[in-house]
Chain A
Amino acid sequence: QVQLVQSGGEVKKPGASVKVSCKASGYTFSSYGISWVRQAPGQGLEWMGWISGDNVNTNYAQNFQGRFTMTTDTSTTTAYMELRSLRSDDTAVYYCARDEAFGVDYWGQGTLVTVSS
């Protein structure tokens, strides 16, 4: 069965960086992309970007170009997202989700990133 298991919650200070992992299993990793989505407390979903499973292509949402980087490691079937220069409004649950070109199907459990001094 398809599973996406994310790394645990993080607490970071403003200006720091955070890296979240998303371990995929149950499907051919390189055949599907991964989208990253975040949800601030009490708010809606926000799409951050997409990366192909083979780490060749990326598509970043305009709001996240510059301090956000997505990568994948096909040897460990793991996707990563890194967000730099963290601000308090980056406090959110970050989700990875399998992106099958025309939509998103399976989701990770989410990773809470808290930015606080």
Chain B
Amino acid sequence: QTVVTQEPSLTVSPGGTVTLTCASSTGAVTSGYYPNWFQQKPGQAPRALIYTTGRKHSWTPARFSGSLLGGKAALALSGAQPEDEAEYYCLLYQGGAWVFGGGTKLTVL
């Protein structure tokens, strides 16, 4: 069964930049995996940030961007804000099914 791997935790300073990645056990992630990224804060439903690699939803803050980087999907945060502290999940489409990554706990400190 396909496994999607994310960094378990990352820390970024306020105003700083951080990149979260999303790897597939099947090999390099391509645009055909339609990478999605979600933010989830405690006690809340996930909120969609990015779809099809780098497209933003109308509500996605400009400081978030998505790309492919070194065979992985990547979510970059430039100019981190305290409210960006949350769990982040990637979602890949592979083998005819969606698979979530295990999530990255991002601390802004």
Contact = CB atoms under 8 A, between A and B. Distances in A.
Interface residues of A, number: 22
B34 A102 contact: yes
A103 interface: yes
B103 A44 contact: yes
Given A50-B98, A59-B97, A107 B52 contact: no
Interface string B7-49: 0000000000000000000000000001010101000011110
A47 B91 contact: yes
Contact of A102 (B47, B51, B89, B99): B51
A16 interface: no
A103 B100 CA distance: 12
Contacts of A61: 97-98
A107 B97 contact: no
Contacts of A46: 100
A46 B38 CA distance: 13
B79 interface: no
B25 to A, nearest CB: 15
Interface of B: 1, 34, 36, 38, 40, 45-48, 51-52, 57, 89, 91, 93, 96-103
6 contacts: A45-B38, A45-B100, A59-B97, A103-B34, A105-B48, A105-B57
Interface of A: 35, 37, 44-47, 50, 59, 61-62, 95, 97, 100, 102-110
